[in-house]
Amino acid sequence: MPASAEYAASGSTTRSLDALAHVLEALAGRSLSVQWLTDDPGSSATSRPILRADAVLLPPSGSPDQHLAAIAHAAAHLLFSRPAQATGKLKPMGIAMASAIEDARVEHLLIKRYPGLRALLLQQARIACQQAQGPDGSFADLVARLNLALLDPSYATDDYWVSKGRQLFNAHESSLDDHATLRNVASVLANDLGQMRVRMNLQGYAVPCRHGDDNSYLWQYEHTSEHSLASVDTAPTRAGTPAGAGDTTPQAQELARYSYPEWDYRLDRHRQRWTTVIERAFVAPAMRAPRVSIRPTALDHRVRLRRQWEGEDIDLDAATELMIDRRTGSLGDARIHRRSGRSPRHHSLLLLLDLSTSANDVVDGRTVLSLECQAALALVAAARANRDRVAVHGFSSNTREQVDYWRLSEFGSAEPAALELSLASVRACHSTRIGAAIRHAAANLSTEHHGSRHLVLLSDGEASDVDVFDTNYLREDAAAAVREARRAGIHVFCLALDSQAGPALGRIFGHGNTRSVLRPSALPLALRQLHEQLGRA
Amino acid sequence: MDLSDYRLSAEPYYRPVGHEIALYEHAYAHRLPLILKGPTGCGKTRFVEYMAWRLGKPLITLACNEDMTAADLVGRFLLDADGTRWHDGPLTVAARYGAICYLDEVVEARQDTTVVIHPLTDTRRNLPLERKGEVVHAHPDFQLVVSYNPGYQSGAKSLKPSTRQRFAALEFDYPDAAAEIEILAHEARIDRTLAATLVDIARHSRALRTRGLDEGISTRMLIYAGVLIRDGLPAAESCHMAMTSAITDDPDLRQALQDIVNACLG
Ligand SMILES: Nc1ncnc2c1ncn2[C@@H]1O[C@H](COP(=O)(O)OP(=O)(O)OP(=O)(O)O)[C@@H](O)[C@H]1O
Ligand SMILES: [Mg+2]
């Protein structure tokens, strides 16, 4: 393909933040969250993306191509720039110049690596030139033109300074990895500008290209106040303040207490009545939704009924037997058809959320808890569409005396709004006594009699509690609880929300029954896939 | 019975990626049943074909599915003019006459189906045909090989331990970049520069496996794309048709993959 091909503006294809984050991970090999920049002090003409070590913040204004270009540019910095350099004695214009040259350097390297991005970045540089922030000959105008000149060999300019800049830069074309010599180029150019008495508008200056970040990633400023402190629109961190010991939210209600045994691997036996599970809910028990009876479901072609009186297929084995019987003179069974049946495969699925303190951790700009909640809603919606019965429960623990078990929604409850309300009130605190929670969840599931029963734990950590110091103890207990549940005919599965937790949880649930979801944003999708797989179980 | 239809007439192209050939030969020498694990389209089937050719044995392949019954594997009575006639299933044919039997995607079969292979895959090496009242003793050349993709299977589907522990395993993954370029250039008959670009795209897509993509772009998909490009279709369109729009239904992932294709193509 010709390298000069105009970028085919993909005009109408908007890209979601998820899609942009996917691209960033693929290009840069690093996983950052991509978020919209809100609360932006600048106007849309001067607001620029912000690159941080953990996130890219994009101004929501701008075309889809501009967003993609911003992601490409961010990838270039992540791949090739050294972050947080000391500014030393550099003056603002020196910093701006060094940043501009650094931007050009990393974009060149990026294009070498991904030639298809050239057209996209070039398009942005052209736009920046046409819509320069200052009059001809101003600093902003010169930098925009230099930037275009560096990207586009065919760009004709009669400006002495721009041509000089292009020459100097091109002289280093083969050594673009050499960050230091290009810093020299920048200081030569900045010097020239000083002699030309070009002034820089300190307050109003923004990097010429709208897709380029504000370069705060590159520098370690003495005073951060001069620079963008725009805030990020994160999901409400309602779980930010863990509830104090023992107290629960006002509307919460204690429903009942249960005691369960716990497996002690050192003794190789259960300790009887060892843990106390305290059931709580946000709604009065009377309001709990009544059980909905199962309606007949659609024909399911995965269900093949054999030996039927009629059907769309011959059941070969039955037919053969019948013929043999007839020839040998006996009557035989004339049910020789196969047909699709109504699916008896309703599933009852209990989603168990880990509500321990670690759910307050912020990943990708949102708390694990808010993610768990989102995932729960997604799963409930999917299950309902499939006419499965789902319940969402959660737990945390504060010693064996207090394993809080939250009934957030009940099997057969048809009210997504009620679940949303419960999820909004729930707080994450304390520890993770997985075994006790699994035993209680399994007990809850054992009253479900429709088709297969599934228990899915969503957790970001290991089994732990403040009254246990042996790290193996609760893990072994949890593994025992999983075995007990499986013996009772319950499929137990775990989604690990943390790469470190994956192997530990894998030891409890079995590696085939644990799936790590390393990117929290991939969780809702993973859950939906999990649900589809249960459908095939 | 004549198994000549099941013999490979020409040497299949296979580019070794490790010492899997030697490992397979050792396993075959002792007739150890083998599991080939690995993501889809990474060369498992091709490898078995190659090994069957190399060892000079016939190869009988069967793709497993949920609807498959034990009778589909071992055989059943059929009717003809004179009465009933037993018809050997593919597994029985392989065991009786000495072929390598390859069960593709074995976890797709229900577990109660899979257990019929048990007596064949331990020291008994026989296959009881219950309905017929016969026990087939496996031919000395017979070997059972099964494949499965551990990637997207959940706990909902897996092999019973009693099945799994009858097999030795070889793990496969997509070949390293150099090997994959070579394979792609050979199979799609395209030049190495183009092959390198396509392989680059695939590697980036595989990075999205942690972001919700079930599987990255496989070697097989690369070959499809390469063939389309060789045919004269524009590269971006070929990639779109053979890879990005085929691989996922998730709009965000698809958009991202398309952007990655465009970025790499240039
Ligand atoms: N090492 C290799 N040598 C030669 N060709 C290969 C190799 N690896 C992959 N291929 C090519 O990739 C294609 C797909 O491989 P193959 O069909 O063997 O995949 P598979 O692992 O069996 O996939 P599935 O699990 O989906 O059945 C082959 O047709 C072949 O062209
Ligand atoms: Mg195959």
Lowest mean pLDDT among A12-21, A331-340, A527-536: A527-536
Smallest CA–CA distance from A525 into chain B, residue = B212
Q: What residues of chain B lie within 8 A of the CB of A493, using their CB?
A: 154-156
Q: What is the pLDDT of residue A504?
A: 81
Given a cut of 60, whether residue A388 has pLDDT beyond it is: yes
Q: What is the pLDDT of residue B118?
A: 94
Domain coverage including residue B253: 177-264
Decide: helix, strand or coil at residue A26: helix
> Are both B241 and B226 inside the same structural domain?
yes
Residues 6+ apart with CB under 8 A from B26: none
Strands, DSSP E only, in A336-388? 337-342, 347-354, 362-363, 366-367
Q: Nearest to residue A439, comparing CAs of A392, A486, A402?
A: A486
Given a cut of 80, whether residue A450 has pLDDT beyond it is: no
CB contact under 8 A, B211 and A21: yes
| CA of B39 relative to ligand 1 center, distance in Å | 10
Task: Kindly state if the Cβ of B222 falls inside 6 Å of ligand 1.
Answer: no
| CA of A324 relative to ligand 1 center, distance in Å | 45
Q: What is the pLDDT of residue A342?
A: 57
> Are both B94 and B212 inside the same structural domain?
no
> Are both B116 and B240 inside the same structural domain?
no
Question: Ligand 1, residues B13, B17, B42, B104: which to mutate, most atoms within 8 A of Cβ?
Answer: B42
The total of structural domains in chain B comes to 2
Percent pLDDT > 90 in chain A is 29
> Are both B167 and B197 inside the same structural domain?
no
User: CB of A130 within 8 A of CB of A141?
Assistant: no
Name the DSSP letter for residue A220.
Answer: E
> Are both B237 and B122 inside the same structural domain?
no
Where among B150, B171, B192 does a domain terminate?
Answer: B171
| Closest ligand 1 atom to B219 CA | 12
What is the residue extent of each domain of chain A? 3-221, 263-296+345-536, 302-342
Q: What is the pLDDT of residue A211?
A: 92
- B80: exposed, middle or buried (C-beta count within 10 Å: 0-12, 13-18, 19+)? exposed
Q: Give the model's confidence band at A23: pLDDT under 50 very low, under 70 low, under 90 confident, else very high.
A: very high
> Are both B89 and B191 inside the same structural domain?
no
CA distance B46 to B218: 14
Q: Nearest to residue A474, comparing CAs of A403, A394, A372, A405?
A: A403
> Are both B81 and B197 inside the same structural domain?
no
Smallest CA–CA distance from B252 into chain A, residue = A19
Residue A346, min C-alpha distance to chain B (Å) = 14
| Closest ligand 1 atom to B105 CA | 25
Q: Which pair of tokens denotes residue A525?
A: 């999708």
Residue B1, min C-alpha distance to chain A (Å) = 24
Phi first, then psi: give them for residue A364, nearest 5 degrees: 55, 35
Where among B154, B171, B188 does a domain terminate?
Answer: B171
Q: What is the pLDDT of residue A44?
A: 62
Smallest CA–CA distance from A453 into chain B, residue = B156
Evaluated on CA atoms A301, A306, A309, A315, the torsion sign reads: positive
> Are both B91 and B19 inside the same structural domain?
yes
> Are both B160 and B213 inside the same structural domain?
no
Q: Nearest to residue A265, comparing CAs of A483, A515, A457, A455?
A: A483
pLDDT tens-digit map of B34-91: 999 998 899 999 999 999 999 999 999 999 887 788 888 998 887 777 777 889 999 9
What is the rounded average pLDDT for all residues in chain A? 80
Q: What is the pLDDT of residue B67?
A: 77
User: What is the amino acid identity at position A231?
Assistant: S
Q: Minimum-distance ligand to the CA of B151?
A: 1
> Are both B98 and B225 inside the same structural domain?
no
User: What is the amino acid identity at position B8?
Assistant: L
Task: Say which CATH superfamily domain A263-296+345-536 falls into.
Answer: von Willebrand factor, type A domain (3.40.50.410)
Q: Nearest to residue A527, comparing CAs of A386, A347, A380, A388?
A: A380
Q: Which among A15, A29, A324 has CB closest to B255?
A: A15
pLDDT tens-digit map of A61-85: 888 999 999 999 999 999 999 888 8
CA distance B16 to B47: 9
**DSSP output for A311-343:** -SEE-HHHHHHHHHHHHTT-------EEEEEE-
- Name which residue leads in pLDDT, A308 or A75: A75
Alpha carbon distance, N-terminus to C-terminus of chain A: 47
H or E, element range at A97? helix A92-113
Rounded (to 5) percent helix, strand, coil in chain B: 50, 15, 35
Q: What is the pLDDT of residue A131?
A: 81
Decide: helix, strand or coil at residue B58: coil
User: CB of B244 within 8 A of CB of B254?
Assistant: yes
Where among B171, B196, B214 does a domain terminate?
Answer: B171
Name the DSSP letter for residue B243.
Answer: I
Mean pLDDT, range A482-509, rounded to an integer? 84
Q: Give the CATH number for residue B147.
A: 3.40.50.300
Q: What is the pLDDT of residue A302?
A: 59
> Are both B185 and B166 inside the same structural domain?
no
CB contact under 8 A, A519 and B212: yes
Evaluated on CA atoms A317, A321, A327, A332, the torsion sign reads: negative
Single pTM value for the model: 0.66
User: CB of A526 within 8 A of CB of A495?
Assistant: yes
Q: Nearest to residue A381, comparing CAs of A416, A413, A421, A351?
A: A416
Given a cut of 60, whether residue A249 has pLDDT beyond it is: no
| Closest ligand 1 atom to B222 CA | 12
User: CB of A391 within 8 A of CB of A289?
Assistant: no
User: What is the amino acid identity at position A163?
Assistant: S
What is the number of CB-based contacts under 8 A between chain A and chain B? 133
Given a cut of 50, whether residue A239 has pLDDT beyond it is: no
User: CB of A495 within 8 A of CB of A515?
Assistant: yes
User: CB of A395 within 8 A of CB of A407?
Assistant: no
> Are both B166 and B183 inside the same structural domain?
no
Q: Which residues pair with B136 in a beta bridge?
A: B127
Q: What is the pLDDT of residue A41?
A: 52
Q: Which among A19, A320, A510 has CB closest to B256?
A: A19
- CA A339 to chain CA centroid, nearest Å: 42
Q: What is the pLDDT of residue A24?
A: 94
